[in-house]
Homo-oligomer: A and B are copies of this chain.
């Protein structure tokens, strides 16, 4: 147990110079974003009215890599990139796997000023908006992790930021809201009185709890109001996954400095950007036959198992049916996941890129119960001392399971997972666990079937494309 060398650091000169674009390597072609208004592929003009122009170009690029502007790399440097890679020596010891047959590494994205990987794409999107002369960005947020990342990014790039925050979180989780305001963002409880979509609910009930779907509708409506505003997403779409590939690239080069390559790459998956950002550099080498045996495992909550129990089909990106329609593993846009603590994993669908990779068996997926993942997170905190967010606990649980399986089978395995964020704003989840009050949720298969055969699922004729 060489604790002096448990952290592998890189100099800022080794911040990746490009993002890895997996689109050209996908085993089947990328599916388009479809306009919910007419069921046809969204023309670039439409997408560019919503997203930064550069991001739309990245969304459909067939280049193998896309250069990261040097000014943006400097921003990455100033928020703590390259982030450390850790060998989890003490966790290994606790699991009884001392020695070098089984090694657990984790990439530590929690060191960012907002506490998670979300800044990697927030900074990029704000940078491209700024370059294009956009002076305001708008987004929605649930618990506020994504909202605070975008708030910081906009503040850094000197543009306005407006966040529609689901009212129940706005009231129950004031911490993230304060953080967004510190970074100069305007935060509205959603439904609000500021948009037509919001007013419809707000006027009937000023204290309406809101939902993520509704907040998306408000943000998009807000964006469409003025030519100089753009909307921003924190996961799911291709360009967000692209920006997150800095995680996996750094991890790959940190591992290579100590002569390692992972046998298993693990990340939790809500919309998919954290898992994809970690795994894509390894996925490309797997597809290209460089390291064909590497296992890629996306971990979902049993309460919201889009890949594990959903179906691969066309669906709306949001409950309100205003966001583009995409082909993806989905539980149906009407699905309202149970209130698990891992708010970042409560999304009904999955990134189209990951959906294609799963359909083609390039990646695997597993699901775990909330109590099991928080238990794993506690064990991690007690041994590695960094308190994980409930989302991150999903990856930890699977890493522990894989290590124990390898131990039982007497296999040699190098395991890499992404420590996507810290849990300083999620202490209640741990309290409930320690008090024996944490509940598990599982969606019955027949309810999922029902949701997926709902009347209002979009009917897309692929022959049109």
Closest to A114 in B: B385
How many chain A residues have a CB neighbour from B under 8 Å?
A: 46
Asked if A430 is at the interface (CB within 8 A of a chain B CB), the reply is: yes
Which of A4, A115, A386, A387 has the most CB atoms of chain B within a 10 A radius of its CB?
A4
A-B contact pairs, 14 of them (CB 8 A): A3-B78, A4-B13, A4-B15, A4-B74, A6-B77, A9-B11, A79-B385, A113-B387, A175-B424, A178-B434, A182-B382, A182-B434, A183-B381, A184-B382
Judge whether A427 and B178 touch: CB under 8 Å: yes
Asked if A174 is at the interface (CB within 8 A of a chain B CB), the reply is: yes
Q: How far is the CB of A71 from chain B (nearest CB, A)?
A: 9
Q: Mark A362-387, 1 if CB is under 8 A from B, else 0.
A: 00000000000000001001100111
Closest to A155 in B: B382
Asked if A413 is at the interface (CB within 8 A of a chain B CB), the reply is: no
Asked if A457 is at the interface (CB within 8 A of a chain B CB), the reply is: no
Asked if A179 is at the interface (CB within 8 A of a chain B CB), the reply is: yes
A424 surroundings in chain B (CB, below 8 A): 115, 175, 424-425
Judge whether A77 and B425 touch: CB under 8 Å: no
Asked if A322 is at the interface (CB within 8 A of a chain B CB), the reply is: no
Judge whether A77 and B381 touch: CB under 8 Å: no
Q: Mark A271-290, 1 if CB is under 8 A from B, else 0.
A: 00000000000000000000
**What is the bound-complex CA distance between A79 and B175, given in angstroms?**
25
Partner of A385, one of B7, B74, B152, B184: B152
Q: Mark A73-95, 1 if CB is under 8 A from B, else 0.
A: 11101111000000001100000
Closest to A75 in B: B3
**What is the bound-complex CA distance between A5 and B77, given in angstroms?**
8
**What is the bound-complex CA distance between A79 and B387, given in angstroms?**
12
Judge whether B387 and A74 touch: CB under 8 Å: no
Q: Mark A13-29, 1 if CB is under 8 A from B, else 0.
A: 10100000000000000
Asked if A334 is at the interface (CB within 8 A of a chain B CB), the reply is: no
Asked if A181 is at the interface (CB within 8 A of a chain B CB), the reply is: yes
Judge whether B386 and A113 touch: CB under 8 Å: yes
Closest to A176 in B: B427
Question: Can you name 4 extra interface pairs (CB under 8 A) apart from A4-B74, A178-B427, A424-B425?
Answer: A78-B90, A174-B431, A175-B424, A178-B431
A37 surroundings in chain B (CB, below 8 A): none
Q: Mark A106-142, 1 if CB is under 8 A from B, else 0.
A: 0000010101000000000000000000000000000
B-contacting residues, A198-229, CB 8 Å = none
Judge whether A385 and B156 touch: CB under 8 Å: yes
Q: Mark A168-208, 1 if CB is under 8 A from B, else 0.
A: 00000011001101111000000000000000000000000
Asked if A31 is at the interface (CB within 8 A of a chain B CB), the reply is: no
Judge whether B9 and A9 touch: CB under 8 Å: yes
**What is the bound-complex CA distance between A431 and B180, given in angstroms?**
11
Closest to A153 in B: B385
Asked if A402 is at the interface (CB within 8 A of a chain B CB), the reply is: no
**What is the bound-complex CA distance between A182 and B431, given in angstroms?**
8
Judge whether A387 and B12 touch: CB under 8 Å: no
